[in-house]
Amino acid sequence: MNSAILTQSLSKTFGQTLAVDRLGLAVPEGAIYALVGANGAGKTTVIKLLMNIFRPTAGSAQVLGIDSRSLAGKAFNRIGYVSENQDMPEWMTVGALLDYYRAFYPTWDRALEQQLVRQFDLPLQRKLKNLSRGMKMKAAFASSLAYRPPLIVLDEPFSGLDPLVRDELIEGLIERAPETTIFLSSHDLAEIESFSSHIGYLEQGRLLFSEEMSVLSDRFREVTVTLSVPAPLPASLPPTWLQAQTVDCVVRFVHSAHNDSTAAEIAQFFPSARDISLDPMPLRSIFLAVAKAGRLRAPSQHNQPAVKGTAA
């Protein structure tokens, strides 16, 4: 499958600060790819590098087959971009904004525009500066979906929105999903879990993993081992075991490389185990485990992968 977005060792520094560190990312065409990570992880920087708003310090990125550094002008006919932080021409009314943008796009679909206006209940006569944050985002969505772009890039699109608006936007987005690739960043796992097909986790500028959502869910298990007698944790645990801790006869950890032989592998470490349970984890728990594991790493280990994954 072709990649709508492909990066190779993409890096960006601001002065002494390394914001993006040798990012290797592949977003398949047709995917709904969620780039997640804590605040300050570098998600927005990655998106701005992809959109040629920032120039990479090293490495390269291809967006719809175009080098990101050449992305300009007509290339944006095929990209819809919405960001929570984007300055909009607030002096315009919603109607004037749509009228203004319409002339730029040969593929602008007037019927779709009207549908989106109705769907988002947009007040065409009101100026953007007089709209609520949610309404502004709806206007931004409408103006970025109406020309049916093959790639939609969203930077924290749902941040700070009430659940109703969020659902409306997600619904509008999902309707476009069959015909487009969606790449979005978010630090709110709950909002993307329901509709993302792929996920990447960014921490301090580094991509810790990038894979299909189903694979990720299969890979992580919350492990509870019940021992016959209390015992300390073995001195050396596999690096795929995260946040291991023991309380009396119970050992708990997160297994990040679960497969059919996981139970046997665990039994080798804990011969006195009375019971081993492997429970699926919600996305939120997976990321918390990964994030905490990353923060516990020693500085010397910083450049080593915290979790074995299928990062591109």
Partner 1 sequence: MSQILHIFYKDARRFWGEIFLSVAITAAFAWFYPNTWIGPDHIHGAMGSHSVASYNLQIIGGFLLALVPVSWWLLIVRVVHAETLVGDRQFWLTRPYEWPKLLAAKLLFLLAFLYLPIFIAQCALLAEAGFKPFSFIPGLLFNLLLLTIVLVLPILAVATVTSNFARMTLTLLGVFVGIIALGAVVQRLMPNHFTAIAGASYTTQGAFTLAFCVCAAVVVLQYALRRVWLARALLYGIPALLILASPFAERIQSHHPRIDVNYPVAANPPVQLAFHPLSPSYQTYETWPDTGEVLIHTPLQGTGVAAGTVLVPDAVKLEVEAPNGVHWVSDWQGTAMPKFLAGSQDGDAVVSIPRDRYEQLKSMPLTMHLSVAFSEARETRVTRMPLPSEDFSVSGFGVCSPLAGFLSPFTQATGLLCRSALRDPPLTYIGVVWSDTPCDAPHPEPDQGVQGAAWVGSLDRAPADLDISSVQQVHFTLSNSIYERSNVPRHLCPGSPVTFTEYERVSRTQTSVTIHDFHLPGVKVSDGQTHVFTTTTTTTEAPKQK
Tell the smallest beta-carbon distance from residue 14 to partner 1 (Å): 11
Tell the smallest beta-carbon distance from residue 73 to partner 1 (Å): 4
Q: Which two tokens stand for residue 27?
A: 């977003």
Q: Which two tokens stand for residue 65?
A: 């087959």
- β-strands 32-36, 181-186 pairing: parallel
Residue 53 interacts with partner 1 (CB under 8 A)?
yes
CA distance 185 to 22: 18
Residue 101 interacts with partner 1 (CB under 8 A)?
yes
Residue 100 interacts with partner 1 (CB under 8 A)?
yes
Residue 91 interacts with partner 1 (CB under 8 A)?
yes
Tell the smallest beta-carbon distance from residue 87 to partner 1 (Å): 5
DSSP state of 157: T
CA distance 152 to 272: 53
Task: Give the residue from 225, 217, 282 showing the smallest Cα distance to 253.
Answer: 225
Nearer to partner 1, 44 or 186 (CB): 44
CA distance 201 to 209: 6
CA distance 283 to 243: 16
Q: Which of 23, 26, 79, 161 binds partner 1 (CB under 8 A)?
A: 79
User: Phi-psi region for residue 65, left (φ > 0), alpha (ψ -120 to 50) or beta?
Assistant: left
Residue 104 interacts with partner 1 (CB under 8 A)?
yes
CA distance 291 to 274: 30
Q: Which of 2, 70, 86, 259 binds partner 1 (CB under 8 A)?
A: 86
Q: Which of 76, 95, 112, 175 binds partner 1 (CB under 8 A)?
A: 76
Residue 77 interacts with partner 1 (CB under 8 A)?
yes
Residue 105 interacts with partner 1 (CB under 8 A)?
yes
Q: Which of 12, 43, 48, 198 binds partner 1 (CB under 8 A)?
A: 48
Q: Which two tokens stand for residue 208?
A: 């810790």
Residue 141 interacts with partner 1 (CB under 8 A)?
no
Tell the smallest beta-carbon distance from residue 19 to partner 1 (Å): 12
Q: Which two tokens stand for residue 40?
A: 């300050």
Residue numbers at the binding site for partner 1 (CB under 8 A): 48, 51-54, 72-77, 79, 81, 83, 85-89, 91, 100-101, 103-105, 153
